[in-house]
Amino acid sequence: MNNNPIDIRFQKLRADNKKAFIPFITAGDPSTNATYLIAKAMIENGADVIEFGVPYSDPSADGPVIMRADERALAAGTRLTDVFDVCRKVTTDYPDIPVLLLLYYNSVFVYGKDKFLSACKDNGISGLIIPDLPFEERDELEPTADRYGIYLISMVTPTSFDRIRTIVPEAKGFLYCVSTSGVTGERQTFETHFQEYMNSLNNYSDIPKCLGFGISTPEQKRAMEKCCDGIIVGSALVKQIESAVHDHLSETEIAEKLGAVVKTFTEDFIC
């Protein structure tokens, strides 16, 4: 059995017949201590995996909500070393909860590939999501990542059918299935036929498949998780942080608010 925490977590979820809930927040928004408190609250309220965004000045895959979060985090002075510190605290407190980073390749390149991946290992990070690193260019990073036991999480989109047969069999940890084309952000409706989408992926691998991008309500989450192994929610949570900052809530109050929001996604309703 693989010992990457991502594999272990999804194996347990499958054994328990449960779906993963993966919240995303931007590290350092509004502060690194707040990020730590929010992560703890989200885990205590049912998060199975934590995804931290590394703030970046030009996040090409993100919509306005996460772009503003990046701006707040950068304005607060958040550096990559600060993100590593938060990850270490979370994984020390919750060693069974995988922590992922979503970041852009330039951040890795500037830091230094080997130095970066070594730091990921030292701070308990299990996987990386790098939207601007095409599958065809993964050899830039994957051999070093493999050496440190860090997974590069593959992404597919509803329009990438011609590439699915190449990407899916090579995926590690889980497959990040983008729910719709475009950037991140809340959506009221989706054009994708999700069951057909998942079936096309299942033809090539039984790796866990998680849907993300635009999922913003517990109702959407419950409808979509019927055909996949997990749901990723980001902009809807980041928007709650933005609102809390605007209302001048304390860091503890922000964490409590986010914990309560996550609970609405993770609690089981009896019909």
Q: Both tokens of residue 246?
A: 């605007």
Q: Is residue 246 part of a domain?
A: yes
pTM: 0.92
- Among the residue ranges 24-38, 213-227, 232-246, the one predicted with the least confidence is 213-227
Q: Is residue 9 part of a domain?
A: yes
pLDDT at 191: 47
Domain that holds residue 9: 5-265
Q: Is residue 212 part of a domain?
A: yes
Q: Is residue 185 part of a domain?
A: yes
Q: Is residue 36 part of a domain?
A: yes
pLDDT at 248: 98
Label residue 270 by pLDDT band (50, 70, 90): very low
Q: How many domains does the chain have?
A: 1
State percent of the chain over pLDDT 90.
Answer: 76
Q: Is residue 270 part of a domain?
A: no
- Alpha-carbon distance 57 to 38, whole Å? 23
Q: Is residue 83 part of a domain?
A: yes
pLDDT, tens digit (0-9, with 9 covering 90-100), for 109-149? 999 999 999 999 999 999 999 999 999 999 999 999 999 99
> Residues with catalytic annotation?
51, 62
For residue 159, the domain's CATH number is 3.20.20.70
pLDDT, tens digit (0-9, with 9 covering 90-100), for 68-78? 999 999 999 99
Q: Is residue 61 part of a domain?
A: yes
